[in-house]
């Protein structure tokens, strides 16, 4: 049961994390938990659990669920307290963890998607993986109503940040470019892995500020996320990108990512169980 006065429900006073599996094993668990702990610290949610204990919960939940491939959703709220803006002194964090079967993103990768650009109306701490995602929800549904797959947030000065649930990559002159880490984007775990994979594949990589005009002059664009991995963008605001089909750089990066990380580097199952936490 989640109480009606849980602060996650009342104030979106909560953070979350998403982990996927490869070959039935949770992937990049340490990186995801590090980001989760960063989010908890950033909003001052006090807790007494360790990274190892969280990893144990994730691994055991995946084992118990028994899906061939799974998505793990983990959410931590500040806990139950009388509804008031001030931090409660004695609230105990609420932890919710679910596991769902995960389908392949191969179709998206093969066909590509269309996106639109929207004003970035989000708060200024997008590096915190907050559950307060109303701006993302509205932007995503605006894209769907426009016949597109997703929306990309663009600031008033033209700065491109990210999509509603993923990071963005642009290929210009054979160079793979992505917005730098900072408070305006979520530091994607898959994003970091893809940058490493691209460099290993011999593709020039830069992390730099992108402008809206860079989208339309790009030869390729793709999005990245934990669950969808690499999703080529074939059109932005109705304008075709490159040939209007998924491009070769996205394919090379994805292949290298799979070779380096998804199979060989999946996290090993820990020996402890939830009962040890």
**Could you give all domains of the chain from N- to C-terminal order, each with its CATH number?**
7-103 (3.30.470.10), 106-262 (3.20.10.10)
pLDDT tens sequence across 199-209: 999 999 999 99
Q: What percent of the chain has pLDDT over 70?
A: 94
Per-residue pLDDT band for 272 (boundaries 50, 70, 90) equals very low
pLDDT at 277 exceeding the cut of 70: no
Phi-psi map region of 23: left, alpha, beta (phi>0 left; psi -120 to 50 alpha): left
CA–chain centroid gap for 59, Å, is 19
Distance CA(223)–CA(150), nearest Å, equals 10
Q: What is the pLDDT of residue 276?
A: 37
Separation between Cα atoms, residue 171 and residue 199, nearest integer Å:
13
E-strand spans in the chain?
14-22, 25-26, 70-77, 94-101, 113-119, 150-154, 159-163, 167-172, 175-178, 204-207, 210-211, 220-225, 229-236, 239-240
Task: Say what the pLDDT of residue 268 is.
Answer: 42
pLDDT reported for residue 267 = 44
User: CB under 8 Å to 268, separation ≥6 — which residues?
Assistant: 25
The whole-number pLDDT of residue 264 equals 54
What's the pLDDT at 155? Answer: 98
Please count the other Cβ atoms lying within 10 Å of the Cβ belonging to residue 87.
14
Q: What is the C-alpha separation between 156 and 268, in angstroms, rounded?
A: 45
Q: Return the pLDDT at 274.
A: 39
- Kindly state the tokens that stand for 271: 């020996």
- Mean pLDDT of all residues in the chain? 94
Residues with catalytic function: 129
3-state helix, strand, coil in the chain (%, to 5): 30, 30, 40
Predicted TM-score of the model (pTM)? 0.92
pLDDT tops 80 at residue 52: yes
170 contacts 178 by C-beta, under 8 angstroms: yes
pLDDT digits (tens, 9 = 90+) for 10-20: 999 999 999 99
- pLDDT for the residue 133: 98
Q: Which residues pair with 211 in a beta bridge?
A: 159
Mean pLDDT of 172-196: 97
pLDDT band at 262 (very low <50, low <70, confident <90, very high): low
């Amino acid at each position: 049961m989640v109480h009606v006065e849980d602060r996650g429900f009342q104030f979106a006073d909560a953070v979350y994390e998403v982990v996927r599996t490869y070959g039935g094993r949770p992937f990049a668990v340490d990186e995801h938990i590090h980001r989760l702990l960063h989010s908890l610290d950033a909003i001052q949610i006090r807790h007494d659990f360790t990274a190892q204990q969280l990893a144990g919960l994730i691994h055991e939940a995946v084992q118990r669920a028994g899906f061939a491939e799974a998505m793990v959703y983990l959410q931590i709220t500040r806990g139950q307290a009388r509804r008031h803006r001030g931090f409660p002194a004695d609230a105990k964090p609420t932890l919710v963890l679910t596991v769902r079967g995960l389908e392949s993103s191969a179709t998206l990768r093969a066909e590509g998607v269309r996106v639109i650009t929207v004003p970035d109306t989000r708060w200024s701490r997008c590096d915190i993986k907050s559950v307060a995602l109303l701006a993302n929800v509205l932007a995503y549904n605006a894209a769907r109503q426009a016949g597109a797959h997703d929306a990309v947030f663009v600031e008033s000065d033209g700065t491109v940040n990210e999509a509603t649930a993923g990071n963005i990559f642009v290929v210009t002159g054979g160079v793979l470019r992505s917005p730098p880490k900072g408070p305006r984007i979520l530091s994607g775990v898959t994003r970091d892995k893809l940058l490493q994979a691209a460099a290993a594949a011999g593709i020039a990589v830069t992390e730099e500020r992108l402008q809206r005009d860079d989208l339309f002059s790009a030869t390729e664009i793709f999005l990245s996320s934990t669950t969808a991995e690499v999703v080529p963008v074939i059109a932005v605001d109705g304008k075709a990108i490159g040939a209007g089909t998924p491009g070769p750089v996205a394919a090379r990066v994805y292949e290298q990512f799979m070779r380096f990380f998804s199979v060989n580097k999946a996290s090993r199952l820990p020996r402890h169980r939830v009962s040890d936490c």
